[in-house]
């Protein structure tokens, strides 16, 4: 069981394992064009075209009010993700499953699940 070095006691994060979160996003052609220009892509994909692989990362982001942002620049910890008492977050891995290509101009959904917590 992880321990909190600040207070020297073990913490149990098992309540977080299995939590799920869903988020929907509009696959906005303007954002796609902005990323394509940033990456200096010659042919910019348009509405109805499949979103290029890994470009989904510019969508499904949580936007928080400034008063709800932590010192690391992300929404404060303790919601979907547990606050493990460490100053920085680390994404240690993940799995992506595309059920079908994401068409530009469509509404899409992201589903996340916590499989384990290791501070």
Position 67 in a domain? no
Strand partners of residue 112: 21
Position 85 in a domain? no
Rounded to an integer, the average pLDDT of 14-18 is: 90
pLDDT on residue 78: 75
Q: Is the pLDDT of residue 119 over 80?
A: no
pLDDT band at 10 (very low <50, low <70, confident <90, very high): low
Joined tokens for residue 3: 């321990």
Which residues form the domain of 53?
Answer: 24-60+92-119
Position 28 in a domain? yes
Q: Which residues contact 81 (CB under 8 A, 6 or more apart)?
A: 16, 89, 114
Answer whether 0.75 is exceeded by the pTM.
Answer: no
pLDDT band at 63 (very low <50, low <70, confident <90, very high): confident
Position 101 in a domain? yes
Position 119 in a domain? yes
d(CA 98, CA 103): 12
Rounded to an integer, the average pLDDT of 50-72 is: 89
Rounded to an integer, the average pLDDT of 20-45 is: 96
pLDDT on residue 8: 45
Looking at per-residue pLDDT, the higher value among 53 and 3 belongs to 53
Q: If DSSP codes are grouped into helix, strand and coil, which group holds residue 66?
A: helix
Q: Tally the domains of the chain.
A: 1
Q: Where do the H-state alpha helices sit in 1-119?
A: 29-38
Position 75 in a domain? no
Strand partners of residue 109: 24
């Amino acid at each position: 069981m992880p321990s909190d070095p600040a207070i020297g006691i073990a913490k149990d994060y098992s309540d977080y394992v299995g939590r799920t979160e869903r988020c929907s996003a509009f696959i906005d052609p303007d954002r796609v064009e902005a990323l394509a220009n940033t990456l200096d892509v010659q042919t910019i994909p348009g509405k109805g075209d499949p979103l290029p692989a890994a470009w989904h990362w510019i969508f499904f982001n949580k936007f928080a009010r400034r008063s709800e942002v932590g010192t690391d620049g992300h929404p404060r910890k303790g919601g979907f993700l547990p606050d493990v008492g460490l100053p920085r977050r680390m994404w240690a891995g993940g799995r992506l499953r595309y059920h079908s290509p994401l068409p530009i101009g469509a509404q899409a959904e992201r589903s996340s699940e916590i499989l384990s917590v290791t501070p």
